[in-house]
Amino acid sequence: MTSAAPVVIVLAAGEGKRMKSATPKVLHRIAGRSLVGHVLEAAAAIEPAHLMVVVGHGRDEVVAHLDEIAPWADTVVQAEQHGTGHAVRLAVEALAAAGALGDGPIIVLSGDTPLLTGGTVNELLARHRDDGAAATLLSATVIEPDGYGRVVRDRDGWVDRIVEHRDADEATRAIDEINAGMYAFDPADLLPALGRLTTANDQGEEYLTDVIGLMREAGRPVAALRVPDSDEILGVNDRVQLAEAAALMRDRINRRWMLDGVSILDPASTWIDVDVDLAPDVTLLPQTSLLGPTSVASGARIGPGTTLSACEVGSDADVRHTWADLAVIGPGASIGPYSYLRPGTRIGAGAKVGAYVEMKNSSLGDGAKVPHLSYVGDAEIGEGTNIGAATVFVNYDGVEKHSTVVGRYVRIGSDTMLIAPLTVGDGAYTAAGSVVTDDVPPGAMAVGRARQRTIPGWVERRRAGSDSARAAAEALAESPPPVEEENR
């Protein structure tokens, strides 16, 4: 058996009717990656010389996706789906035409098996080379084999043939070893077998499984690698199976992180994407989702009820009941509960963002605080500054966004409107309830509010007979207001 580098063919042309979706089946996602993306990641473990993806249904979307995540992959179009054998034949012909076929093993993988691991693909290749077989297939023993092709072995344990469920008799259907639909082939055996495929079956398609029987007829050995974890070969054909695969992937990811020193209090409600990076001694509380390339440093505590997407969290930070997207949270910072950090938000070390605070494209300096009920947009806030409750950074004039710069150790009074563009100097104050439209020099107090006007007796005159009028009359009877002296 040659030691030449393998080529990989990924079958991703199917329509996936049972998904009932406008999105091609292989582009549905679990754990932050498309189904086909997971398969390509597994295939990369054997460092193939070439990788060919067979596309068909929704091919423009699939090709665009492949260009984004795997620009080194080539594609071939199966315009009409005439079976897996037909798809592999098209891929082999395209590889040969490009001079990329070589004499190394041909690995065929299914584009809808996201739980397949690179370790298993490596084992498949190694077994194929060690056994010197014409073909080596992945198989698994399952409790409920209905719907799967059965692996029929001879007395010596070699694979004799594969029989699709719909074409199997009762005795064959009783076999619990199923074909995973993924193979390693010797090209010298595969190419002539592909040329002999027919459509004489229940579906009228060219079954790739039929090449096994053809190889056996030619006296060539066919081996099988039985995977110990049958979950790896599960395909996704409908939304139920998509959810099942996602849950299995969740459990696999969570287990790995817990073994690496991450505390996950409720693994069943904690979802971590494959590109997340966690340090030891991170704690994840229930109902936490970490999406995209999120990273969390040691000692940080995330959750409960928190979603972080493509965020960076520093050591010992505490993030509770928060939604954050493309945000940077510094070490020792405290976020939440019920905070919303939008893209471009940067929180300094030891800073605090409290309840019902929304921030967008803004930086909060070290030790600064926005404790509650505020909106901060397009702003730069210096270290040690405190933003009072119900403060709004008014950044949009209806046409353009404008920025506000608040210096160090500033005290912004509650219910302040900061009308951008604006600069508040270091150490300045604003009075509660102010509307600030002009720059505030360092150390100054800005007061931007009208004097209060009180009109005695207004309720009695204008709302006579109301509950308010009665309450006011009772209060006045108990404690009448002081009588002002006449002007002298």
Burial class (CB in 10 A: 0-12, 13-18, 19+), 487: exposed
| Secondary-structure percent of the chain, ordered helix, strand, coil, rounded to 5 | 25, 30, 45
Which amino acid does the sequence have at 33? R
Token pair in block for residue 386: 């405190």
Query: Is residue 402 among the annotated active site residues?
Result: no
From residue 336, how far is each of 307, 321, 356, 357, 369 by CA, in Å?
12, 6, 8, 8, 12
Which of these is catalytic: 28, 38, 50, 372? 372
From residue 5, how far is each of 73, 96, 100, 132, 258 by CA, in Å?
16, 15, 11, 15, 36
Q: How far is the first Cα of the chain from the last one, in angstroms, to the nearest whole number?
A: 117
Query: Which residues neighbour 244 within 8 Å (Cβ) at sequence distance 6 or greater?
Result: 234
Q: How many CB atoms lie within 10 A of CB 374?
A: 24
Four-point Cα dihedral 36, 42, 48, 51, nearest 10: 0
- What b/e string do you get for 268-304 counting C-beta neighbours within 10 Å, with b at 16 or more? ebbbbbbebebbeebbbbebbbbbeebbbbebbbbbb
Q: Are strands 417-419 and 392-394 parallel, antiparallel or unpaired?
A: parallel
Token pair in block for residue 347: 């929180």
Q: How many CB atoms lie within 10 A of CB 378?
A: 17
**Catalytically active residues, by annotation:** 372
